[in-house]
Amino acid sequence: MIRPLPSLPAWGVLERISRRLGASLSHVQRREAARRAMPDTGQIGGKQAHIALVGVGPGAADLLTLRAMRMIAAADVVLYDRLVEPEVVALSSRNAHKIYVGKEVGAHAWPQDRIDAKIIEEARKGQRVVRLKSGDPSIFGRVTEELIAARAAGIEVEIVPGVTAACAAAAHRQVSLTERGVADTLILTTGTCREGDPLPESALHARPGTTTVFYMSVRQATRIRDGLIMRGVPNGVQIQIAADVAKPSEQHLSCALRDLPECLQEANINGCAILILTWPKEIKMQAKQYDFVGAAL
C-alpha cells in the first residue's frame, strides 16, 4: 500500500535533492525532515517498523523519485546489491546500517530466502528497513518473495516504483517504444527464470507492430535470435542493445537480428544489458517458417 505523502515546504524538497551538491542543511536536520516524510507505521516493541522495497532506477541517482530519496534518507537499515550504484547507497544516513547482499548472476552470495529473513529480522527490531532494487521492483525484481515475507511477519510494507531500464534506454536514445503507426504493443519479457523452471518462451508474442524488450537475456541471445526468426521476424531487422543503462559505463549498440550473438561477443557484453526489438507494422513476416498454433520457442 502506498500512502499519500504529506506536503513539504518547497525549500525542504530542494535541499534534500541537492544535498549531495553542497546543501547547507545539517545531517541531523536532513534526517529529521526525511523521517517526517515517512508514512506512519505500526509499532514493534514500542518502536516503529516499516519495510520499503524501493526502486532506484537503472543507475544514476538523479533518476530516483522524490519518494525513493525520502525513504533512503530516513532508513535505519539499507540492503543493496551489485546493481545499485554507490552514489545511490550514499544518499542514506551515515548512521544507517548498510548491508550488501551480494547477488550476482549465477552466484547468489545471499540466496533470496536469506535476504527475506534479514529484512524481517531488522524490521522486527523496530527499524525502518529499505531494500534497494534496481529499476522498478515489480518488473523482474523478485519483489513477490519479499512482500510475502513481510506480510507473513505482520509488518507494514510498501513498494516505491522506479524507472525501469527499458524506459531509461529509450529516453537516452530519444526514441519511442510505442511510436504511432510503427508499434502499438509493448512487451517486457526475460530470457532467464527461476532455477529449475523451463526457460521462458521469450519470443512468443513478437509480431508486426510490437516492441519487445528482453531483460536478463544476454546469455540466451542465440536462443532468442533463433526464436524470433522462427516467429517470422526478418533476420535483417535491427535490434538495439543497451548495456549498463544510466551508469558511467553505459553503451548502446545496434545490429541486424541475425548478428546478435556475435555483436554481443565482440562488444564484450555479458551481463547487465537489455535487448530491444521493434518489429514495425509495415514489415511483414518472412515466408512461412513457423506454425503459430501450438508452437514454442
Convert 198-237 to b/e letters by CB count within 10 Å (16 or more is b).
eebebbbebbbbbbbbbbbbbebbebbbbbbbbbbbeeeb
47 is catalytic: no
Contact 85, 106 (CB under 8 A): no
226 is catalytic: no
Active-site option among 81, 118, 133, 136: 81
Grid cell, residue 251, equals 553503451
* Given 47, 103, 247, 281, the catalytic residue: 103
∠ CA 104-110-113, nearest 5°, is: 120
Indicate which residues carry an active-site annotation: 81, 103
